Amino acid sequence: MEKVDLNLLKKCANNLMLEMSDEEYETLNEEFDVFFKQMEVFNDIEGLDEVTPMTFPFDCYNSYLREDEPSNPLTKEEVLKNAKEVLDDQIVLPKVVL
């Protein structure tokens, strides 16, 4: 893991177009030190490599979705009958790109 130092923080802040004072860089650097010390605690947990990582803390079910059943498609005439403007059997839409 790459060590976080003031030069790296300044480079990242510059890439993100953030303006920070030297005092703020020092505070952020101290926070990263605390963060990495906290992360080292995970290395001491036995059997952690055997656990499957979670991507979301709850099981998700899509029981509210209906079954996708094929049906008869609309005819071209049915589709075009409510169109505001039709040209050569196609719906004319307003231009949205300048």
Mean pLDDT of 4-21: 91
Predicted local distance difference test score (pLDDT) of residue 61: 77
pLDDT in tens, 23-74: 999 999 999 999 988 888 888 889 888 988 888 888 877 777 788 888 899 9
Predicted local distance difference test score (pLDDT) of residue 43: 83
Question: Cβ of 63: how many Cβ atoms within 10 Å?
Answer: 4
Cα–Cα distance measured from residue 82 to residue 85, given in angstroms and rounded to the nearest whole number: 9
Say which residues have a Cβ less than 8 Å from residue 6's Cβ, sequence separation at least 6.
25, 26, 29
First-to-last CA distance in the chain? 47
What is the pTM assigned to this prediction?
0.46
91, containing H or E segment: strand 90-91
Pairing of strands 90-91, 86-87: antiparallel
